[in-house]
């Protein structure tokens, strides 16, 4: 099992692969599955800005496409003064796959961590079609 420090290092490394020519803002994500596997992601921008995919969703879609379904935690890193805060679209996608008690670790440029639960990140989430 990786330490918090190792997971932060991996997440910073993931951010270095970001394709962010428009915002110059590189984000990395590391997703840990319940089986212990690690999936990394970065943001991938597009000249049609709305098509941009955030680091969190890249990591989640990557894991899902590999057959994973159960996750224990997600680390997100951005070069921000305060721990980065995922966008609304990512929160909804995260809520699809994380239990309400799951830990989401948000990291700033000085490696400060803010730990929040999925339920804190997206309270009163949409989860029923009926």
Q: Is 74 in the site for ligand THU (CB under 6 A)?
A: no
Q: Is 27 in the site for ligand THU (CB under 6 A)?
A: yes
Q: Is 25 in the site for ligand THU (CB under 6 A)?
A: yes
Q: Is 96 a catalytic residue?
A: no
**Among the residue ranges 6-14, 67-75, 84-92, 113-121, the one whose residues contact ligand THU (CB under 6 A):** 84-92
Residue 65 tokens read as 């496409």
Q: Is 43 in the site for ligand THU (CB under 6 A)?
A: yes
- Which residues in 78-92 are b (16+ Cβ under 10 Å) and which e? bebeebbebeeebbe
The C-alpha angle 83, 57, 82, rounded to 5 degrees, equals: 5
- Listed in order, strand segments (DSSP E) in the chain are 27-33, 38-42, 71-78, 103-107, 113-117
Question: Site residues for ligand THU, window 53-72 (CB under 6 A)?
Answer: 54-56
The C-alpha angle 93, 112, 96, rounded to 5 degrees, equals: 10
Q: Is 118 in the site for ligand THU (CB under 6 A)?
A: no
Q: Is 8 in the site for ligand THU (CB under 6 A)?
A: no
Residues recognised as catalytic: 56
Binding stretches for ligand THU (CB under 6 A):
20, 23, 25, 27, 43, 45, 52, 54-56, 76, 84, 86-87, 90
């Amino acid at each position: 099992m990786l330490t918090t420090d190792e997971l932060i290092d991996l997440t910073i490394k993931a951010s270095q692969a970001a394709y962010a020519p428009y915002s110059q803002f590189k984000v990395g994500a590391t997703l840990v599955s319940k089986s212990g596997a690690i999936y990394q992601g970065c943001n991938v921008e597009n000249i049609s800005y709305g098509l941009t995919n955030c680091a969190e969703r890249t990591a989640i879609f990557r894991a899902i496409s590999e057959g994973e379904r159960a996750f224990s935690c997600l680390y997100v890193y951005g070069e921000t003064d305060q721990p980065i805060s995922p966008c609304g679209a990512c929160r909804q996608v995260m809520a699809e796959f994380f239990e309400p008690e799951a830990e989401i670790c948000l990291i700033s440029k000085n490696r400060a961590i803010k730990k929040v639960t999925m339920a804190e990140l997206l309270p009163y989430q949409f989860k029923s079609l009926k």
